[in-house]
Amino acid sequence: MANSMVDDPRQIREENPFESMMERFDRAAQLLNLDADLYAVMRVPNRELKVYIPVRMDSGRIQVFEGFRVQHNFARGPAKGGIRYSPDVNIDEVRALAAWMTWKCAVVDVPFGGGKGGVICDPLQMSLGELERLTRRYASELIDFIGPEKDVPAPDMNTNEQTMAWIMDTYSMHARHTVNAVVTGKPVALGGSRGRREATGRGLLFVINEAAKRFKMSPPATRVVVQGSGNVGGIGARLMHEAGYKVIAISDMFGGIYNKDGIDIPAALTHLQTTRSFDEFPGVERVNNHELLELDCDVLVPAATENQITSENADRIKCKILAEGANGPTTAAADTILHNKGIFVIPDILANAGGVTVSYFEWVQDRMGYFWKEDVVNERLKDIMVASFNDLVKYADNHSVDTRTAAYMLAIDRVAYDTRMRGIYA
């Protein structure tokens, strides 16, 4: 599970994700000279919901699960963000992830606020029926709080198109008509967007392409290391491989594979899918998830979970470009170390924003009832990712700050502007 990445005793949980987020928020707010009233309102979430979810398990017994939904900010539109199922998800993590959604949507300038949900459960130990009952009861608890104009959930760790289909159906059954815009990341046949499944990985590729251009690195001469092989890492690695990058390492939650001359990524992913492990994949060395992060490479893509790069290992990171596919893979304490090493960071709230960008397209298509071709989706995604990358780099140069700080400043400034124009209802 997610925590196996941080099981290693060398990995210390020096901050929880909420503290990492707040440290960056405070720094950016200070540099922006954010007005005290705006600061007071923007540093806290708008609403937090905690629910207890009874589920009839296959054994016939009832088990009660705990779930959350945090709606962080509505200044720019409905709350937007995924739902994660994990044994160690907690309110602090969901709160941080919800805030990151607010800043992420602002960085790519899509008209949403931020939200996030989580249910404490171990999906690997649950049957499909148990997962369906859990999802439907959780959705029914959220019914008054979510909706196309209020809060629009999406997939995140351990949830997928099927989870979204169940939520959409549960919500629709209570509404007495089909409301497909209540969630994004649905199956295409049920109002999902073409290209949504690959969108986070594709967005990652677009910003890595821009960064590579900036440093005059050509794809075949660029060695890429990817931590994670799920919807972000796996698809990202495949798209980078197809674009000609040399992907030299990739991992899943149990460990990674490495070959300095490059790995046949489609073959490795097929092997992983069919055998559920990278074990016995030929022609590679095995590395664990901590060694993988410290490999000599040009682009490092942590695309698994939070707190992977900390003050403990930041000094041993050897990439030129750090492209954060996961949310919060780097702690705030590690930022300064990476900065002093001259590593160019494409921060999570830009690097992985391709997913929510195409979620926005999905929401638009659902509300129009008119669906776009995949080429159109990908082209529009590219426009947004490339423009956002260039805006961010320009902002960092103009304000003489690193790209992480620039991303927070840019986002907070946009949310602050909208909050000021709307006025604080106090």
Residue 163 interacting with ligand GLU (CB under 6 A): no
Q: Least CB distance from residue 148 to ligand GLU, whole Å?
A: 13
Among 71, 102, 359, 388, binds ligand GLU (CB under 6 A): 359
Residue 94's identity, in one-letter code, is V
Among 229, 327, 330, 365, binds ligand GLU (CB under 6 A): 327
Alpha-carbon span 225 to 322, nearest angstrom: 10
Helix ranges restricted to H, 143-279:
161-175, 199-214, 233-242, 265-275
Give the closest residue to 385 by CA, choosing from 415, 426, 355. Answer: 355
First-last CA distance in the chain: 43
SS3 47: strand
Residue nearest to ligand GLU (CB): 82
Residue 156 interacting with ligand GLU (CB under 6 A): yes
CA-to-CA dists, residue 322 to 117, 207, 335, 339, 371, angstroms = 27, 11, 11, 11, 35
Question: β-strands 344-346, 321-323: how paired?
Answer: parallel
Q: Are 97 and 166 in contact (CB under 8 A)?
A: no
Residue 108 interacting with ligand GLU (CB under 6 A): no
Q: Least CB distance from residue 154 to ligand GLU, whole Å?
A: 3
Which residues lie closer than 8 Å to 258 by C-beta, 6 or more apart?
248, 249, 284, 285, 286, 287, 292, 295
Residue 352 interacting with ligand GLU (CB under 6 A): yes
Residue 81 interacting with ligand GLU (CB under 6 A): yes
Residue 73 interacting with ligand GLU (CB under 6 A): no
Positions annotated as catalytic residues are 116
Residue 204 interacting with ligand GLU (CB under 6 A): no
Q: Least CB distance from residue 296 to ligand GLU, whole Å?
A: 29
The DSSP bridge partners found for residue 62 are 56
Q: Which of residues 213-242 bind ligand GLU (CB under 6 A)?
A: none
Q: Are 116 and 69 in contact (CB under 8 A)?
A: yes
Q: Which stretch binds ligand GLU (CB under 6 A): 45-53, 78-86, 283-291, 392-400?
A: 78-86
Among 251, 289, 355, 377, binds ligand GLU (CB under 6 A): 355
Give how many residues touch ligand GLU by CB under 6 A: 12
CA atoms within 13 A on the CB side of 300: 27
| 79 vs 292, beta carbon nearer ligand GLU | 79
Q: Which of residues 273-302 bind ligand GLU (CB under 6 A)?
A: none
Q: Least CB distance from residue 12 to ligand GLU, whole Å?
A: 25
Residue 154 interacting with ligand GLU (CB under 6 A): yes
Q: Which residue has the tokens 């999570």?
A: 348
Among 17, 67, 78, 82, binds ligand GLU (CB under 6 A): 82
Give the pair of three-digit tokens for residue 165: 């289909």
Query: Which residues here bind ligand GLU, judged by CB under 6 A?
Result: 80-82, 154, 156, 184-185, 327, 352, 355-356, 359
